Structure 1
């Protein structure tokens, strides 16, 4: 299991360090589940950021342009209207086994978390490439997937090309 300290060692010191649980609680009440702890830990530490000039992560307390709660709601609506089963291995949604859109990339990918089928089942990451309509399910937690991404492993299109000198981030304003 990937640890936050490993992510921090590659990405650098976080500058957001959010501690109020209310934005998460509001979002989790709406969707009916708790987001995975490793995802929350990264987003609480870094806030709304662009990683390696490619991957957008947002925080639920972010302002209107970069607000995770709003983005998830809007992206769920998009994927549900588009009959996501044509482009994904299952429906987008918040029920067990469904796919929750949590991030996007400048290179045309959508990042999903597969909602676990049960309390002891692990969260998994799915990447959908909008330009080719293909997808890949990674049998990894979000933290494991993010760590692989930060190391330049092939878990998103061109991930090695966007940070040849090492992982970095910039806050989204």
Structure 2
């Protein structure tokens, strides 16, 4: 398949935006650590110096940015069912963020879905997104080819040595979980609708923290920074439920990564 045809196929087939997936199924639809992240679309992440924070630190910082989490939909059984279907465990920081805030839309474009809700269901979205992306034929020469990083010959989705969708946006982006060939902790690939993958060797909590702070976390020149508190919108659980909006804490009053580093 030619590159142009493949890119058209990706755009046509991809179920990155949660609204598209749910329509298909008749549902209603601050300061950072002192290190530089430079996304590469060549299968290599460069310019990344060791940081002082781990996933737990970024998770704590996210609570400061997003506000105290709610456990309204928290369900260990729902996560166990999803992980059993995938065949591996998902990162604890990701599950904590989803349990604490999903289902919700952040800053008008980023969708967090939950595995235990009937509508905006993460399990359904992951399953259908994996199926759609598994049908795409990938060229041997692919911009940002994840295969060297994953240590595989074939791009697979929803498996331990592949790419697993974590969330999507209404801008056509998908954030994927990945495990490298070196067996390191989980990292992130992002595809933003142009058929190219961008690699970030960070935890999900760090990726989301940096994304909300305005860094380029979905490829070059991709930053989306909203001054002031993070904007939330609930995802209605029925067609009769209204959509409501609210805001997180003042960012100036929250703990920041730079202030915590020596």
Fold conserved between structures, TM > 0.5: yes
1:63-95 deviation per Cα after TM superposition (whole angstroms, max 9, x unaligned): 23x111000000000100113565752423233
Greater radius of gyration (CA): 2
Moved over 6 A (4+): none
Contact 2:102 2:112 in 1 (8 A): yes
Larger mean Cα displacement after TM superposition, 86-95 or 27-36: 86-95
Q: 1:159 aligns with which of 209, 215, 224?
A: 224
Q: Secondary structure at the match of 1:72?
A: helix
TM-score when scaled to structure 2? 0.59
TM-score when scaled to structure 1? 0.86
Q: 2:87 aligns with which of 25, 32, 35?
A: 32
Q: What do you get for the CA RMSD once the two structures are aligned? A: 2.0
The alignment status of 1:56 with 2:121, answered yes or no, reads no
Of structures 1 and 2, the one with the larger relative CO (CA 8 A, separation 6+) is 2
Q: 1:107 aligns with which of 171, 184, 194?
A: 171
* Counterpart residue number, 1:171: 234
The alignment status of 1:143 with 2:205, answered yes or no, reads yes
C-alpha distance in 2 between matches for 1:52 and 1:94: 27
C-alpha distance in 1 between matches for 2:78 and 2:138: 27
The alignment status of 1:9 with 2:30, answered yes or no, reads no
Q: How many residue pairs are counted as aligned between the two chains?
A: 168
Unpaired stretches in structure 1, ≥5 consecutive residues: none
* Counterpart residue number, 1:76: 130
* Counterpart residue number, 2:49: none
C-alpha distance in 2 between matches for 1:109 and 1:94: 17
Contact 2:134 2:156 in 1 (8 A): yes
Unpaired stretches in structure 2, ≥5 consecutive residues: 1-53, 148-154, 237-262
C-alpha distance in 1 between matches for 2:168 and 2:190: 9
Deviation at 1:17, TM superposition (A): 4.4
Q: Secondary structure at the match of 1:107?
A: coil
